[in-house]
Structure 1
């Protein structure tokens, strides 16, 4: 129902950074998978995607199970 901004507790912030790095790796892996001279397996891509999902949930858990999440509010979080 709302976008979650990265941040909150130090642990949650670190998990959000890890998720960002994981998403970057996923995008690079997808680029490599599109090249004819490179091989990236489907399970590897799926694993990295699920890992980033887990890191997001773990960050929410570290923010008092989501109660301390920072929600995006249009025009207010700048």
Structure 2
């Protein structure tokens, strides 16, 4: 009788383990779908391509072309209004 009981217990453990792995895989797929969906939603309005030309005058009167400056290194443009 112990042989049958042991075999049945082993079958139950295997079934529980398989169920645990299936649940883990389903949870991983749900998390992955959420992450990819949120990422796609956040990037829907992002501009694509090169920056438009931007030129201006510095406070000392010299002219500046940001497209030429951007070829050498990254440029941060900060706009403000008063």
- TM-score by structure 1 length? 0.34
| Bigger Cα Rg | 2
